[in-house]
Structure formats: structure tokens, C-alpha cells
Amino acid sequence: MMSRNAIAMVASLGALALNGCTVPPSQSAPQSAAEALRPYYATLPGDLPQANAGATLDVSQPIQRIAFGSCNHQHRHQTIWPVIAGHDPDLFLMIGNNVYGDYGYRGDADLETFADAYRLQASHPEFIAFRAQVPMLASWDDHDFGPNDSGGSFAFRERSEQLFESFWRSSETVRARPGIYESVTTGPEGQRLQIIMLDTRFFRDPLETQPYSYEWPALGSYAITDDPDATMLGAAQWAWLAEELAEPAELRLIVSSIQILTDAHNWEKWGNMPRERERLYEALAARNGGGLVFLSGDRHSGAIYYGEPEALGEGVWELTSSSLNYSFRSGDNRDREPDPLRRSGFMSDENFGLVEIDWANGRVTLDLKAADGSSMHAEQLRFR
């Protein structure tokens, strides 16, 4: 394990170079702390943790049922996996906090607690059996990316990406670029489903915090920024997203680890960067056809939302599912967080989301499922 002093020395080398201090002429000055750390990472053992190979997604076939979830702690029970499998999904989306790698993390560059979290998750029989039956795609959130609420300023994000891509057996396309964003289109013409998995961590600028106040509501401490340069996705991912949305599809699922529509709290959300959210709406408004649904997690509660953003120019539904095995409360907590966009309770019991597509009639059912498989709340919408 690299000591904190060693980390500081490596990071200082990058900082000195950036500040114009000289380095030996035989050396190329690192342009960032991340670049300075790469030679060290190259010396670490290459046997990174991996999940079992799992089922393969046949992209030529139409998808009718997708399950998804977030907030799965590797040290907690894994009883929800056979329940989800019992609903026979064609695909499962892990959309963030898939493990809690920051549990016990003390700031080492190796991210050993993250590697240990993946190893433990890979060993659970229920998880192994589920992967053998159901194809999976994954994105991350803060606790499997870095420390709580971390973003692009996390110094060891490149190591985190290595661990993620190894464990989830990411495609060569994902491995070839910074960040872990990904898009998959399935089905023949007339039944094309595009799944866009956004990366809201690797490139995101730091969030602004509210000044301390005794009157703070118990709904988070992040402020709204009007900084025109603040980014959620970063330039490369924004350009990629525009290209993906130019592709034809009859239905698109936009997967974000954090919530998109709501402004009812001050935790992490797209609304903390309203210019970026407007940019997202504008990009989606310019898409090459197809219905639209948002999927999100993060909140340790589940709910269904409906909004009509002006920049989008149409109504859109969002299903938030969290958490798979790490709930903080129980029951319906809607009174704690009033929200005019929410069309359901704010359900804090363990849960997963189910998206069912009726291609023949152009309908989608969004269903928030309890850990026993029963429905907490469902909504049906038309996408054509």
C-alpha cells in the first residue's frame, strides 16, 4: 500500500511541474497528480477483482423487461437477487453504489478497500447465480467511485476506473476512454431500445455548499451554482451523448446515478447545476425520435416522478430505485420531502425498479418493486 507521505510526494511533483518549477531535463514533467501516479499504479499486481462472467445480452432481440437498482452494500444480505430473477428480466442495470468501496477507506492511493469490496461482492452465491441467469450493465455512483459525494477532483479516479472496469468486465469501447459511460441499442427496427448509461462522477466539477445555518432543513447542504463553466459530464461525454442521440431508436432509457427531475432536496442531483440540466434537456429534445424515460438511484428511497421541462418540450417520467439492501428508513416518507413532481410515495424500504415494454401497443410500465417482489407503485405511459 502506498503511504500517505508517498502519495503527497508524488502529487507534489505534479503540482510543482504545473507551477513552473524545474524537473530534471531527462524527465517529462507530469501535468497532473493523476499522471504522476500512473507509474506507481503500473507496479501494482494486475489480478484485479472480477465478477463471474455472467449471461450475455443478445442485442439483436427486442427487450421487454428491464430491472434495475442501486445502493448494494457488499457486507449486507443479498436476498433480493433471486426475487429479481423471479421476474425474468431480459437485462439488469446496476446504476451506482453497486458496492461501498469507501467503507473503511482511509485515503490510500491503492483503493484497497474498493478492491476488497468487489472481491466480497463477487463471492456471494446469490449474486453469482443472478449473473449467470441475467445479463447486466453497470454504471457507478459516489461510493463505488470514491469517497462520499466525490467527483472529478478525486485524485485516484483512474485507479477506481481500473477496478470498476475489471470487476464489471467492461467492453473494450469503455476501457479505451476515460470514464465509464456507455450506450447499448437492442432490437430490430420498430423495437429499438437505446440504453444510455451516463457517468455523473468521473468528470463532474465540485458542488457548491450552502453556508452553515441553524435553520438548515434535513434535506442536504448543496447549493445551486450559476457557474457557466461547471460541468456534470465533461466535454468528451457531452459530445458522445450528442452522437448517441443522433442514432434512431423507438424508446430511450437515460440512466443517471443521481436524480434528474426533482428540485425537492439539496442532496446531489442534476438541479445543483441547472445549466447542465438545461443542456441535457436540450440535447434530448434534439434526439432522433423515440420515447424517453429517466432511471435514477442514490437516494436510499424509491419513487416515480413526472415533469414537463420547458427546455425538453415534452413530458417525461423518472423512476428512482434505491436501495437494494441498504435502506435507512422504512415505509412511505413523502411528508419528509414534499415534491410536486412525485407521483408516488417516497418509499424507503429495500426495492428495485422494473421497466416493462409493450412494443405492440407502444406502452411502458414503470414499477417500483419491494424486496419481496410486490408492487409499491406503478405508472403506465405511452411512448408512441
Residue with cell 438545461: 278
Q: Please report the pLDDT score of residue 27 as a whole number.
A: 61
Q: Where are the domains of the chain?
A: 1-43, 49-382
Are 290 and 252 in contact, with CB atoms under 8 Å apart?
Answer: yes
The three grid cell numbers given for residue 380, joined into one nine-digit string: 403506465
Looking at this protein, which amino acid is placed at residue 202? F
Backbone torsions φ then ψ of 227, nearest 5 degrees: -65, 115
* DSSP string for 283-297: HHHTSSS-EEEEEE-
CA-based Rg of the chain, rounded to a whole angstrom?
21
- What size, in residues, is the chain? 384
Q: Which residues of the chain have pLDDT under 70?
A: 1-28, 216-217
Q: Please report the pLDDT score of residue 216 as a whole number.
A: 65
Q: Please report the pLDDT score of residue 44 as a whole number.
A: 86
The three grid cell numbers given for residue 358, joined into one nine-digit string: 409493450
Q: Please report the pLDDT score of residue 310 as a whole number.
A: 98
Q: Please report the pLDDT score of residue 16 as a whole number.
A: 35
Type and span of the H or E element at 251: strand 251-255
Sheet with 316-320, strands from edge to edge, namely 182-186, 193-197, 251-255, 291-296, 316-320, 303-307
* 325: number of Cβ within 10 Å: 18
For residue 317, give the 3-state DSSP assignment. Answer: strand
CATH topology of domain 49-382: Purple Acid Phosphatase; chain A, domain 2 (3.60.21)
Q: Please report the pLDDT score of residue 30 as a whole number.
A: 74
